[in-house]
């Protein structure tokens, strides 16, 4: 298969801030910047990088600088030379980047903050015990299904109904996590070249799934303090008439913003007017710390609104159970398309989730004090230690979206990695690139972990402002 060619112009756009804050030699800084783009997934595995001369012209540097950067990337295993194909991107260690080894850090000392997730709620172990009582009966079946366990679908429907969105089990199917739900919806709703509205920044694996389905992304900005610009949202929807709009109206990931009632009305009315199917991702939506939660976006909506939910953020990341709430007609289309991507959701996981979902309200109430303490502790520590940063205190969720004030997110992440603190650079969350001035930091940390992160970021910030940043590596998985 012929590698996809990344043009010099496209590469230069991705590398706009490649030298920001780095005191390293130009070729080292360029190699580090490309490395982060590769492992963050912004330059895909198997892509062919531009010719040395073309990239040198686009970046305004010497060809020698680019040649030495490519040589460094080959040495580190991120590029390979193929006859007739030039320099092709690859991931080292048989396709599995191991930043802990690359950075010379002892693996046990690595603190991986790319994944915003909570440790297991105490009730999970009890739910597993109860679920095992139903296992003998379940063993009579094949162990997976595409629709979902009837008891679990009923529990999910009852949870929606309690939150103000009357729902029947026939409007719910169970998936293998929320990401599977998003990818399945993208495959069914999006055709090649179809416009798809997304927020910017947004959950990276969502915009990857939408692009993989052939969607042409049209973005609207979301700010952690200002939220959505209603005029821009309305105009973009009516002008582009997207097939699908993927939004996170409650505790948006990564900004933590919540869509006010007026903005929800603008979104739903404009979408209904142009026939857009709105997909509302509530993966973070119920993790509210301050104030009441709004009803699900589909409540009272004039057009078609599909809800995506998940059990793993509330209960435990190891419980890979998600769901889609939609009209039965759309669910039927999803079920017909599902076998080409997966054959069904495991029965045992569903039995555990069936025990847990009815306890959602109680588990959220029990988690809230720890979430509040984690958020308040991290925000206060960062504001004190790094007063030049803009550190919002979100009303919920699991992360804060920091404004750095300078386009150095990639350099900062590289510097922190050399001390074993692994973060995703801000650019990962941009469907159109950018966000080098932003950084997502989870507050799901112990006090000791929080202190380590804050001090590491403070030292890394000093290094970005002067000394060379020499760490290499990053990782693509972000949740």
- Alpha carbon separation from 407 to 65, 190, 204 (Å, rounded): 22, 34, 19
Same domain, yes or no: 78 and 105? no
- Region 100-127: what's the mean pLDDT? 75
Q: Domain for residue 470, yes or no?
A: no
Contact between 391 and 399 under an 8 Å Cβ cutoff? The reply is: no
Outline where DSSP puts E strands in 348-463: 399-403, 421-422, 438-442
Domains of the chain: total: 3
Is there a single domain that holds both residue 238 and residue 341?
Answer: yes
- In this structure, the answer to whether residues 45 and 105 fall within a common structural domain is no
Domain contains 62: yes
Quick one: pLDDT at residue 19? 79
User: Which secondary structure element, helix H or strand E, spans residue 411, and what is its range?
Assistant: helix 409-417
pLDDT one-digit tens code per residue, 407-463: 888 889 888 988 899 998 898 898 876 788 899 999 999 999 999 999 999 999 998
The secondary structure of 169-195 as a DSSP string is GGGEEEESHHHHHHHHHHHHH--TT-E
Same domain, 379 and 349: no
Are 36 and 174 contained in the same domain? no
Determine, yes or no, domain membership for 471.
no
For residue 149, is it within any domain? Answer: yes
414: CATH:
3.90.1150.10
* 319/372 same-domain check: no
Of residues 42 and 128, the one with the higher pLDDT is 128
In order of 95, 99, 117, 406, the CA distances from 39 in angstroms are: 10, 10, 21, 22
Task: Report if residue 1 sits inside a domain.
Answer: no
Gap between the Cα atoms of 372 and 462, Å rounded = 29
Instruction: Please indicate, yes or no, if residue 469 is contained in any of the structural domains.
Output: no
- pTM (2 d.p.): 0.80
> 37 and 116 in one domain?
no
CA–CA dist 350, 353 (Å, integer): 5
- pLDDT tens across 453-472, in order? 999 999 999 988 733 333 33
Hey, which residues does 441 pair with through a beta bridge?
A: 400
In tens, the pLDDT along 339-393 reads 988 889 999 999 999 999 999 999 999 999 999 999 999 999 999 999 999 999 9
């Amino acid at each position: 298969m012929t590698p996809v060619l990344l043009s010099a112009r496209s590469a230069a756009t991705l590398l706009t801030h490649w030298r920001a804050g780095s005191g390293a030699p130009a070729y080292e800084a360029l190699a580090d910047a490309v490395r982060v783009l590769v492992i963050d997934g912004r330059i895909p595995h198997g892509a062919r990088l531009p010719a040395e001369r073309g990239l040198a012209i686009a970046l305004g540097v010497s060809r020698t600088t680019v040649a030495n950067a490519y040589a460094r990337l080959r040495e580190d295993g991120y590029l390979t030379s193929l006859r007739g194909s030039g320099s092709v991107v690859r991931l080292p260690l048989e396709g599995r980047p191991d930043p802990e080894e690359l950075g010379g850090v002892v693996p046990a000392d690595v603190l991986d903050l790319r994944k915003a997730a909570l440790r297991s709620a105490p009730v999970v172990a009890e739910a597993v015990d109860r679920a095992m009582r139903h296992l003998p009966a379940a063993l009579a079946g094949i162990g997976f299904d595409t629709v979902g366990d009837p008891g679990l679908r009923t529990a999910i429907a009852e949870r929606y109904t309690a939150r103000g969105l009357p729902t029947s089990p026939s409007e719910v199917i169970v998936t293998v996590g929320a990401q599977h739900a998003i990818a399945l919806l993208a495959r069914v709703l999006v055709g090649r070249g179809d416009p798809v509205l997304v927020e910017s920044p947004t959950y990276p694996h969502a915009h990857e799934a939408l692009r993989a389905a052939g969607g042409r992304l049209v973005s609207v900005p979301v700010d952690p303090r200002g939220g959505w610009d209603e005029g821009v949202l309305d105009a973009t929807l009516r002008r582009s008439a997207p097939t699908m709009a993927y939004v996170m109206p409650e505790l948006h990931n990564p900004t933590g913003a919540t869509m006010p009632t007026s903005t929800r009305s603008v979104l739903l009315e404009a979408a209904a007017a142009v026939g857009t199917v709105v997909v509302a991702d509530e993966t973070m939506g119920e993790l509210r710390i301050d104030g009441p939660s709004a009803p699900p976006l589909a409540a009272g909506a004039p057009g078609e609104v599909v809800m995506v939910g998940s059990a793993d953020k509330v209960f435990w990341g190891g419980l890979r159970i998600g769901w889609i709430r939609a009209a039965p007609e759309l669910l039927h289309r999803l079920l017909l398309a599902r076998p080409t991507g997966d054959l069904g959701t495991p029965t045992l996981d569903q039995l555990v989730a069936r025990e847990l979902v009815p306890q959602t309200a109680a588990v959220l109430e029990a988690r809230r004090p720890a979430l509040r303490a984690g958020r308040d502790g991290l925000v206060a520590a960062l504001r004190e230690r790094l007063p030049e940063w803009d550190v919002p205190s979100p009303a919920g969720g699991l992360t804060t979206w920091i404004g750095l004030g300078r386009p150095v997110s990639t350099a900062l992440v590289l510097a922190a990695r050399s001390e074993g603190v692994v973060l995703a650079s801000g650019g990962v969350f941009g469907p159109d690139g950018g966000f080098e001035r932003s950084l997502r930091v989870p507050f799901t940390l112990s006090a000791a972990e929080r202190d380590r992160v804050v001090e590491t970021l403070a030292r890394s910030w000093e290094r970005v402002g002067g000394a060379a940043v020499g760490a290499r590596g990053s990782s693509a998985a972000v949740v």
